[in-house]
Structure 1
Amino acid sequence: MTQIFQRAWVGKGLILLLMALTLLPFLSLFTAALAPGGTYPSGIAWPEAPQWNNFVRAFEVADIGRMMVSSLIIVLGVVPLAVVIASMAGFALAKLVPTGRKWLYLVFVLGLTLPFESIITPLYYEIRALGLLNTRFAIILPLLGLYMPFSVYWMRAHFINVPQDLSEAAQLDGAGYWREFWYVQIPLARSSIMSLSILLFLWTWNQFLLPIVLVQDPAKRTMAGALGAFQGQWGTDVPLLSAGSLIIMAPTIIIFLIFQRQFVAALLQGAVKG
C-alpha cells in the first residue's frame, strides 16, 4: 500500500514538473510583455509598473485585426476542404481498396517523410509560374497538399477499425458506398474529424514559413507569418513584440481549451483500438 501511495505522489510530482516547464516560457513572455517599452527584460520578474497598454499598442501597431481576418480566411480555405478530402480518401483506403493494392496507402505514408523545408524552393517557382504569388491561394493550395498525407493517415486509422459488420448491414439495407460513407461512417468518425480539424487549425494558424516566402503583403498572411514583418519593424522593442506574440497565440490556446475533450477522446479511441 505504501509503494502504491509513493508511486502516486511520484507521478503527480512529475506531472507538476512538466506543467511548470511547459508554462515557464509563457510566463516569461507574459512578464516581458508588461515591461516598459524600449526596455530589455531579463528573466522572469514582475515589473513594478505593469504596462497593460502594451497589448493595445501591439494590436494597433501590427494591425492584428486585419491579420486575424486574413488568418480566418486561410483557415476556412484549408481546414474544411482538407477534412472532407481526407475523410473520403481514408474511407476508400480502409474499406474500398483491395488487399493487393495497399501500396496506394504507402504513397501517403511516404508523404509523411517529406521534409517541408526541402520543397519550399521548387514550390516558390511553381506558385510563381501559376501567377499566385502574393495571394492567399499561394498559402491555401500548398497547405492542402502538405497536410493531406497526415490527414489521410489519421482518417484511415479510424475507418479501418470500424467493424465490417456495419458496412455489410448498410449494404443489405440497400445503401451504396456513398450513402454508407455519409450516413453511417461519418457520424461514427465525429471525434476523429473534430480532432483532425483542431490539428489542422493549429498548424494553419501558426504557419510561418510559407507566408513569409510566398506572400509579400503582411495583410494576406497568417498571423504567425505577419509576426515576421512585425518583428523586423519592432524587433528592438521586446515588450511590444512579446505582447504581439501573446495576442497571436491566444486564439490557438482558446480553441484547444474548448475542444480538448474531443481531441483527447480521439487519441484514446485510437489507442484502445490500435
Structure 2
Amino acid sequence: MLAVFLAVVLIPFLSLLLAALQPAGTPLTGFAWPRGIHLENFGHAWSAAGFGTLLRSSAVIALSVVPAAVVCATLAGYALATMEVPGRGKLYAYLLLGLSIPVEVTVIPLYYDLRAVGLTNTVPGLALAEIGAFMPFGVFWMRAHFATMPRSLIEAARLDGASSWTTLWRVLMPSSRPAVTTLGVLYFVWSWNQFLLPLVLIQDPSRRTAPAGLGLFTGQYEVDVPLLAAATLIVIAPVVLVYLFFQRHFINGVLSGALKG
C-alpha cells in the first residue's frame, strides 16, 4: 500500500523531470526517456521568465506572512482554548465561517477595499490579505491543540503566579513546537503556491510571485513542454526543500493532532 501511494506521488514529479530534460520544443504526450540531458532548459526558463525576481518576491511575501500569521493564530487559539473570553463561542464560530468561504468569492471586494487605502500593488497589502485568508484554519488548528493540553498544567502555572503570557510561552509552547512547526510549513506552502491573490492585487510584473509569473510564462510557451516543465520544477523546488527540511516536525505535528483528536 505504501508503495502504491509512493508511486502516485512520485510519478508526476518523474514525468516533469523527464520532460524538462528533453530538447526544447520537443512535442510530448506521455513518458519519454530524454535523448540526452538538456539542462539548458532550466537556464532558458530562468532567464525568459525572470525567475530571479519572481522567487525573491515570493520569498519576501512568504517570510512576511508566515511568522505574523503563526503568531496571531497561536495567540488567538490559546485565548479561545484556555481563557474565558466574552462571546468566545460565537467568535470561534464566526472564524470557522472563513473555512467555508472560498478566496475566489472575496478577492474582488478585497481588491476594492485595499485600493481604497492604497495597498494594492504592494507587498504589505498582499501579505495582509494572505494572513486574513489563512487565519481561520490557523486558529482552528491551534485552538484544537491547546484544548487537548492538560488543564491541570495550566491551573498549576496560574497557582504559581504565572501570567497568561508566561503560561503560554514558558509552559505550553515547549510542547507545542510540532503543532506550530506544522502550521508554519502549511502556511509557507499556501503562501508560496498562492496564485489568484497575487495576480489580482499585484499588477506590476516585477513584483509578482513565482506562481503568477509561471502562469504568464505558460501563456507564452504553451507549446514548449520541456521549457514549461523546467519552469514548473523551478517554482516547486523551494516548497519541496522546505518540506524535506521540516518533515520530521511536520509528521510529528500531524500525528500528534490525530492521536489527541
TM-score of the two chains, using structure 2 as the length reference: 0.95
What is the Cα deviation at residue 265 of structure 1? 0.6
Q: State whether residues 38 and 238 of structure 1, in contact with CA within 8 Å, keep that contact through their aligned partners in structure 2.
A: yes
Percent identity, please.
48
Q: State whether residues 79 and 85 of structure 2, in contact with CA within 8 Å, keep that contact through their aligned partners in structure 1.
A: no
Equivalent residue in structure 1 for 2:152, among 153, 160, 165: 165
Q: State whether residues 212 and 228 of structure 1, in contact with CA within 8 Å, keep that contact through their aligned partners in structure 2.
A: no
Unaligned runs of 5+ in 1: 1-13
What is the Cα deviation at residue 47 of structure 1? 1.8
Is 1:231 the counterpart of 2:218? The answer is yes
Q: Which letter maps to 1:271?
A: A
Q: Measure the CA separation in 2 of the matches of 1:100 and 1:130.
A: 30
Q: Which letter maps to 1:180?
A: T
Q: Measure the CA separation in 1 of the matches of 2:11 and 2:90.
A: 45
Question: Could you say if the C-alpha distance between residues 101 and 151 of structure 1 is closer, same or farther in structure 2, counting changes exceeding 3 Å?
Answer: closer
Q: Measure the CA separation in 1 of the matches of 2:204 and 2:217.
A: 12
Q: State whether residues 42 and 231 of structure 2, in contact with CA within 8 Å, keep that contact through their aligned partners in structure 1.
A: yes
Q: State whether residues 80 and 88 of structure 2, in contact with CA within 8 Å, keep that contact through their aligned partners in structure 1.
A: no
Equivalent residue in structure 2 for 1:211, among 180, 195, 198: 198
Q: For residues 126-145 of structure 1, what are the structure 2 equivalents within 5 Å?
A: 126-145=113-132
- Residue of structure 2 in register with 1:67 after alignment: 54
Question: What do the CA deviations read for 1:120-149 (whole angstroms, capped 9, x no partner)?
Answer: 111121122222222222321111101000
Equivalent residue in structure 2 for 1:125, among 108, 112, 119: 112
The alignment partner of 1:174 has SS state of: coil
Q: Which letter maps to 1:128?
A: R
What is the Cα deviation at residue 22 of structure 1? 2.0
Q: Which letter maps to 1:50?
A: I
Q: Measure the CA separation in 1 of the matches of 2:87 and 2:121.
A: 44
How many pairs align? 261
Q: Measure the CA separation in 1 of the matches of 2:206 and 2:153.
A: 48
Misfit runs of 4+, over 6 Å: none
Q: Measure the CA separation in 1 of the matches of 2:171 and 2:191.
A: 29
- Residue of structure 1 in register with 2:234 after alignment: 247
Question: What do the CA deviations read for 1:170-194 (whole angstroms, capped 9, x no partner)?
Answer: 1122111121112112222111100
Q: For residues 34-45 of structure 1, what are the structure 2 equivalents within 5 Å?
A: 34-45=21-32
- Residue of structure 2 in register with 1:201 after alignment: 188
Is 1:19 the counterpart of 2:6? The answer is yes
TM-score of the two chains, using structure 1 as the length reference: 0.90
